[in-house]
Amino acid sequence: MAFKPLHDRVLVKRVQSEEKTKGGLIIPDTAKEKPAEGEVVAVGAGARKDSGELIAPAVAVGDRILFGKWSGTEVTLDGVEMLIMKESDIMGIIS
């Protein structure tokens, strides 16, 4: 299914964290926190100024990003859990 976010929204796929700690301990599913790192899958056209001028998004498809723990709305598309969030919820791009 194709999905195109509207306005300044971004579709993000979470990046999975390691199953083990550096010391070799296996982390059970109940103890894992959802990562606040993801990959941009789709980007809307951008926000609009009061004048109607379009502000292009700062992120692009494929960017690795950091976002707040409670950012976005969880959705499932084609059986994959993803997040839809506003671009302003993104803290930065990992290079």
**Dist CA 87 CA 9 (whole Å):** 6
* Per-residue pLDDT reduced to its tens digit, 64-86: 999 988 899 999 999 999 999 99
pTM of this structure: 0.79
Q: What is the CATH number of the domain that holds 88?
A: 2.30.33.40
Q: Average per-residue pLDDT in the chain?
A: 86
The number of distinct structural domains making up the chain is 1
The answer to whether 41 and 65 are in contact (CB under 8 A) is no
1 occurs within a structural domain: no
90 occurs within a structural domain: yes
**Dist CA 70 CA 55 (whole Å):** 25
